[in-house]
Amino acid sequence: MTQMIDKRPDPEALSRIKDILGPKGWVDDADDLAPWLVDSRGVYHGRCLGMARPGSVEEVSQVLAVAYDAGIEIVPQGGNTGRVGGATPDDTGHQLLINMGRMNKVRDIDAANYTMTVEAGCILQDIQRAAENADRLFPLSLGAEGSCQIGGNLASNAGGINVLRYGNARDLVLGLEVVLPDGRIWTGLRRLRKDNTGYDLKHLFLGSEGTLGIITAAVLKLFPLPKERAAALVALDSLDSAVTLLEKARTASADALMSFELMPGFSLDWAEKHVEGAKQPFETTYDWTVLMEIGGTKMDGSAGVALEGLLEEAFEAGQVVDAILPQSEEQRAQLWFLREAIVEAQNREGAQIKHDVAVPVSLVPDFIRQANAAAIALMPGIRPYPFGHVGDGNIHYNLSQPVDMPVETFFAEQEAIHRAVHDVALSMNGSISAEHGIGRTKRDELLRCKSDVELDTMRALKNLFDPKGLMNPGKTIPAPR
Ligand code: FAD
Ligand code: MLT
Ligand code: ZN
């Protein structure tokens, strides 16, 4: 007989938590809570005891200490833009949501050392702007940057459109401040470029999706601000030319290539159809297009010259068949608007099944062809919509429902389709989550793609930091087979 564990919280502990936070730091009105209880895809809906909005690391520490003693489960939350359900509480109503939005100070910008120290609740776009005002670049950039928080970016090791040149979120961090599940504060806000003093603890929290502790602040790496950016939207003769062009562009620009994003030509039509202000910029619908951008360190047009030179070569070789080179900052911004718009366009086109795979870059064309064959074999009429960060070998291999197929029929096959697409990636030694994380959505798929040694080590680490299993339970780490 299984023993029923009563997870209802001790009312006294809850009232102590409310006292610590004060009225500014506590939300329990149903309407105010509603947007924070559903994930960004609208797949998961949860309930909670209330939402804590701590204003300082001390408050986070005190709240976690009380929760730890009382056995209250915690769900950390940033901007709630995650794609895998990691920030949504379960439906018991017994979990405490901790949203970091009030901890939004830039504590320090150190231009000389190319670092900045920020609190976890800072919106990513605000961080980019603050760096720019100091003539520096914070390169993490993604579609949700207007609302996601740096704590969420770091906890999910976000990627985005500049990984090719600057790396993932993990690569942009020098130090962290973290509150452990029992309330102890680890102050690791070092600004060092080199520090070989044993295990590098920060890397355990980066990408841990709220399962080991709460990130409250970080020291971020800054870079010289590119003085000019040269972008081009190009149409390719074939998918394989994406790989050839990428190689050429990296070499010709001496690796100043910042972004290299794949978009199927028809996604630009969908953007025009569904998203206000988006326009298919070509006169015809090509099979494959790439939006690429080179960042230049001088304001002498050399980035544009490098880009035009390599495109000329690619035209002559027949790999590029058409190109749009923006002549103003506004036109460049329009191309990036289009890249973001294709995500929303697919949402509006009907139900979708999403993937976020990585394979070695040179295998991306084969991956797409094999995944198309596998998905269409399972569901004739399904509409593959592969796009994304091809420069990193990261494809959002999304699929739209067949026209006229009922949504329930489409989703009935979701698990089989996930498995088939992931199998193609795994057969290439790829990953089932390149940048979105595991969360709730992909937790059990981990059982199929990690060895027992890897899974046991993950569980042992989780148990070491969080022996009571209170931090974001049910996310990221699958139960033993
Ligand atoms: P949330 O969604 O709130 O949380 C994400 C995870 O981190 C959860 O598990 C949560 O528990 C945990 N968490 C949050 N804050 C903390 C903290 N302070 N301490 C510990 N754990 C915490 N992602 C990409 O990688 N690349 C993209 O290009 C990209 N594009 C996107 C485009 C759109 C339109 C949208 C909606 C999302 C996109 N995403 C992308 C996904 C998402 O924006 C990122 O994963 C982002 O990093 C999540 O940040 P957040 O603050 O919203 O975190
Ligand atoms: C993107 O690259 O646009 C996003 O990661 C896609 C998404 O979040 O669905
Ligand atoms: Zn992406």
Rounded distance, CA 61 to CA 471, Å? 13
For each of the domains in the chain, give its residue range(s) and CATH number, in order of start: 11-101 (3.30.43.10), 106-224 (3.30.465.10), 228-348 (3.30.70.2190), 352-427 (3.30.70.2740)
CB 346 within 8 Å of CB 385: yes
Is there an atom of ligand 1 within 6 Å of 342 CB? no
Q: Which ligand is nearest to the CA of 79?
A: 1
Q: How far is the CA of 343 from the centre of ligand 2 (A)?
A: 6
The tokens describing 444, both together, are 């059990």
Rounded distance, CA 286 to CA 265, Å? 5
Q: Which ligand is nearest to the CA of 142?
A: 1
DSSP 22: T
Q: How far is the CA of 156 from the centre of ligand 1 (A)?
A: 6
Which of 473, 373, 384, 387 lies closest to 423, judged by CA? 373
> In whole angstroms, how far apart are CA 448 and each of 431, 459, 479?
11, 16, 12
Looking at residue 77, what is its pLDDT? 99
**Contacts with 318 (C-beta within 8 Å, 6 or more apart), sequence order:** 237
Q: How far is the CA of 8 from the centre of ligand 3 (A)?
A: 38
Residue written as token pair 């942009």: 172
Per-residue pLDDT tens for 55-101? 999 999 999 999 999 999 999 999 999 999 999 999 999 999 999 99
Helix 302-316 and helix 240-252: axis angle, to 10°?
Answer: 140
- 235 pairs with which residues across the strands? 289, 322
For residues 157-175, b (16+ Cβ closer than 10 Å) or e, as one string?
A: bbbbbbbbbbbbbeebbbb
Ligand 1 atom nearest the C-alpha of 178 is 19
Q: Which ligand is nearest to the CA of 358?
A: 3
Is there an atom of ligand 1 within 6 Å of 85 CB? no
Per-residue pLDDT tens for 333-367? 999 999 999 999 999 999 999 999 999 999 999 99
Q: How far is the CA of 135 from the centre of ligand 2 (A)?
A: 28
Q: Which ligand is nearest to the CA of 81?
A: 1
Rounded distance, CA 40 to CA 158, Å? 15
Q: What ipTM was estimated for this complex?
A: 0.99
CB 17 within 8 Å of CB 66: yes
Is there an atom of ligand 2 within 6 Å of 83 CB? yes
Is there an atom of ligand 1 within 6 Å of 158 CB? yes
Ligand 2 atom nearest the C-alpha of 83 is 8
Per-residue pLDDT tens for 99-134? 999 999 999 999 999 999 999 999 999 999 999 999
Looking at residue 229, what is its pLDDT? 95
Is there an atom of ligand 2 within 6 Å of 462 CB? no
pLDDT band at 2 (very low <50, low <70, confident <90, very high): very low
Looking at residue 1, what is its pLDDT? 41
Is there an atom of ligand 1 within 6 Å of 144 CB? yes
Mutate to test the pocket of ligand 1, among 142, 291, 347, 435 (most ligand atoms within 8 A of CB): 142
Phi then psi dihedrals of residue 327, to 5 deg:
-100, 0
Per-residue pLDDT tens for 389-431? 999 999 999 999 999 999 999 999 999 999 999 999 999 999 9
Mean of the pLDDT values across residues 165-189?
A: 98
pLDDT band at 32 (very low <50, low <70, confident <90, very high): very high
Amino acid identity for residue 189 in this structure: L
DSSP string, 353-408: E--BEE--GGGHHHHHHHHHHHHHHHSTT-EEEEEB-GGGTEEEEEEEPPTT--HH
Determine which residue's CA is closest to atom 8 belonging to ligand 2: 83
CB 278 within 8 Å of CB 255: no
Determine which residue's CA is closest to atom 5 belonging to ligand 2: 160
Which of 121, 171, 168 lies closest to 149, judged by CA? 121
Amino acid identity for residue 115 in this structure: T
